[in-house]
Amino acid sequence: MESINEFKGLIRRRIKIFLLSAIPVFIIVTIIAFILPPIFVSRSTILIESQQIPQEYVKSTVTGYVEQRLQSITQQILSRANLIKIINQFNLYPDMGKKYATEVVLAKMRKDIVLETIQAGGKRGRDATIAFTLSYEGKDPTTVQKVANVLASLYLEANLKKREAQATRTTEFLQQELNHIKKQIDEYGNKITKFKKAHIGELPEYNAINARALDQLSRDIDQVNMQLSSLKERKVYLEGQIANLDISGPVVTAGGTIVSGGTREERLKSLRLQLINLQTSLSDKHPDIIRLKKEIHELEAQTEETKVSSADTERLNDLKNRLVTMKAQLGPQHPDVVKLSREVASLSRKIQNSEKGKTASRLAQEEKNPAYMSLKTQIESINIEINHLLDERFRIKKKMNYYQKKIENAPRVEKEYVSLTTDYENAKEKYNEIMSKLMEARVAKGMEETQHGERFTIIEPAAKPEAPEKPDRLKIMLMGLFLSLGTGAGLAFLQENLDHSIKTTTDLDSLGDVPMLSAIPLIESEADIKRRHKRIIIAVSLVIGVVCATLIIIHFFIMPIDILWLKIQRKLMIQL
């Protein structure tokens, strides 16, 4: 009971400071709530439609999550150039444009644009975004609606361009890679062609052919060796026969008899006897006499030449010996040595001329002997055939060396060839792989161009707002009410703590040692009671007036009272 009385005393003492501080605060906050300009908000709801064609048939080349693309598109749309263009188009923020810098105006517009994603099932996740809302707030509802629609169209256009650009970049990249791989394939093909030309017959596929060719050449050279052996044996046999044959040939006498002589002297003696016999019966002008004389003359000349040749040869050898001795003793420049050298040279030429004549004479004699000529012709034919076979054997050996070298080089060539063909096959495999991806990318690009891929669709365009969304005047007034009550209570409590005057009997007891016997209550006169009642009436009237003014303001500036009451009832029912 005493506490209640103290509290009543506190109220009675501090009601004045409470009302003087609470009521102005509430009035100021209420005035601010109604002075703030109305802010209208217009929203567009954009649905994120999935790819129209199943992924099993056409695989999109546009990768990444929806949120990432939304952030990228948002940064693109909220760029300085785009925002300035929209501000100039709708003449936004004219007052701010005159007072503040462009960056401040752009920051304000970015703050007024709000993007909120809508998740499937109410869960937030990268794969759950199915739509998003794009809102813009401003003072003019018509302008707000137009700006919101423009922003929505910009998002749709940016999404299409971004997807088409990404599909185009993918296609162009694959095309460049394909051209690069095609160039590599051509280079590898040219290298393989040049390698084949440079190592023709040494490639792995020629190994069996080279082995067969080498085996055939080996058999051919064996056959040639056998033919050469046979021809050489026949040549030896013919040379043996021609060695035992008299190259002079038979001598036919005037009587038709054939006389064969061994040596040249014996034949000369036989021809002289024949001449004597013929001279007894024929005259010197007879043809047989003339022929025999001619033959005898030729044989005598040959015999004389042989004798002369033998003597000249012996003399030449003697002169050469003397020349060597004199050069050693006198030196090469001595006149006797020079003279002897000239004599040696002259005698050498004479002997050579004599040898040429003897060779011609011998050949003439050989032509007179048919058997010798036949054997010699056979030997020459055998020599030609032997030379031909030797050439053939040389050619075969050369070819054998050629094929043998190819067989020896085959492992090294095969290693290089396999390396080239492996690179070529790998390049072709890569080419086919990129070609397949390029065809898929082209189909995906066509899908994006015809807008059959993932796309943004406006399912709820921005409408003209009929009522302002900001400020929430009721909330501001309620906040002002609580703020005013708090301010009044705080000031009253502060004043009460700072006031050290005697207010209760307890305060009086604490001042001295004399106990208090009794307390006389406050005796109010009729005038005091009237003043108190008057103050109460004034306070109640003031409160009722403030409440009525508040309801009137809410009814005319925020919403009708009946609608507000229905909303309050609905919220209370939901909470219950």
Please give the full DSSP string across 361-394, using - where no structure is assigned.
HHHHHHHT-HHHHHHHHHHHHHHHHHHHHHHHHH
For CA atoms 178, 180, 183, 184, give the dihedral sign.
negative
Tokens representing 348 are 């050498």
Give the per-residue SS3 of 484-495. HHHHHHHHHHHH
Measured CA to CA, the distance from residue 33 to residue 28 in angstroms comes to: 9
Higher pLDDT, 227 or 280: 227
Give the per-residue SS3 of 444-484. HHHHHHCCCCCEEEEEECCCCCCCCCECCHHHHHHHHHHHH
Tokens representing 386 are 């032997």
Kindly list the strands in the beta sheet with 455-460, ordered across the sheet, starting from the edge strand earlier in the chain. 113-119, 129-138, 40-49, 455-460
Taking each helix axis from N to C end, the angle separating 264-279 and 287-330, rounded to the nearest 10 degrees, works out to 150
Please give the full DSSP string across 317-338, using - where no structure is assigned.
HHHHHHHHHHHHHH-TTSHHHH
Measured CA to CA, the distance from residue 412 to residue 116 in angstroms comes to: 70
E strand map for 205-261:
251-252, 258-259
Integer CA distances (angstroms), 231 to 39, 57, 217, 244, in order: 127, 84, 21, 20
Phi/psi class of residue 200: alpha, beta or left (left: φ > 0; alpha: ψ in -120 to 50)?
A: beta
Confidence grade of residue 558 (pLDDT, cut at 50, 70, 90): low
pLDDT digits 0-9 by tens, 537-557: 887 787 788 778 877 877 776
Tokens representing 143 are 């302008």
pTM: 0.50
Tokens representing 570 are 């609905």
Helix, coil or strand: residue 173: helix
Tokens representing 227 are 């033919």
Mean pLDDT of the chain: 76
Q: Answer whether residue 17 shows pLDDT above 80.
A: no
Measured CA to CA, the distance from residue 312 to residue 318 in angstroms comes to: 10
Residue 136: what pLDDT? 92
Measured CA to CA, the distance from residue 395 to residue 407 in angstroms comes to: 18
Higher pLDDT, 572 or 115: 115
Please give the full DSSP string across 102-168, using - where no structure is assigned.
HHHHHHHHHHHEEEEEEEGGG---TT-EEEEEEEEEES-HHHHHHHHHHHHHHHHHHHHHHHHHHHH
Helix, coil or strand: residue 218: helix
pLDDT digits 0-9 by tens, 202-220: 777 778 888 888 888 888 8
Measured CA to CA, the distance from residue 241 to residue 548 in angstroms comes to: 165
Confidence grade of residue 372 (pLDDT, cut at 50, 70, 90): low
Q: Answer whether residue 243 shows pLDDT above 70.
A: no
**What does the pLDDT average to over 12-29?**
77
What does the buried/exposed string (b/e) look like for 444-455 if buried means 16 or more CB atoms within 10 Å of the residue's CB?
bbebbeeeebbb
Residue 255: what pLDDT? 40
Tokens representing 567 are 């909303």
Residue 128: what pLDDT? 65
The amino acid that residue 574 corresponds to is I
Long-range contact pairs involving 488-497 (C-beta distance under 8 Å, separation at least 24): 488/17, 488/18, 488/19, 488/21, 488/22, 488/25, 489/18, 491/17, 491/18, 491/21, 492/10, 492/14, 492/17, 492/18, 492/21, 495/14, 495/17, 496/10, 496/13, 496/14
Higher pLDDT, 40 or 346: 40
Tokens representing 152 are 């929505």
CA 250 to chain centre: 97
Measured CA to CA, the distance from residue 442 to residue 170 in angstroms comes to: 9
pLDDT digits 0-9 by tens, 299-357: 666 665 555 556 667 777 777 777 777 776 777 777 777 777 877 787 777 667 666 65
Measured CA to CA, the distance from residue 92 to residue 87 in angstroms comes to: 5
Confidence grade of residue 267 (pLDDT, cut at 50, 70, 90): low
Burial category of 558 from C-beta neighbours within 10 Å (exposed 0-12, middle 13-18, buried 19 and up): buried
Phi/psi class of residue 48: alpha, beta or left (left: φ > 0; alpha: ψ in -120 to 50)?
A: beta
Percentages of the chain per state (helix, strand, coil), in multiples of 5 = 75, 5, 20
CA angle 10, 546, 487 (to 5 degrees): 40
Residue 363: what pLDDT? 53
Q: How many CB atoms lie within 10 A of CB 441?
A: 23
For CA atoms 176, 182, 184, 187, give the dihedral sign.
negative
* Residue 323 bridge partners (DSSP): none
Measured CA to CA, the distance from residue 343 to residue 365 in angstroms comes to: 33
Q: What is the DSSP letter of 206?
A: G
CA angle 130, 136, 140 (to 5 degrees): 145
Residue 256: what pLDDT? 40
Measured CA to CA, the distance from residue 69 to residue 19 in angstroms comes to: 57
Report strand pairing: 40-49 vs 258-259.
Answer: unpaired
Measured CA to CA, the distance from residue 418 to residue 14 in angstroms comes to: 107
The percentage of the chain sitting over the pLDDT mark of 90, rounded to a whole number, equals 1
Q: What is the largest CA-CA distance in the chain?
A: 226
Residue 124: what pLDDT? 46
Burial category of 465 from C-beta neighbours within 10 Å (exposed 0-12, middle 13-18, buried 19 and up): buried
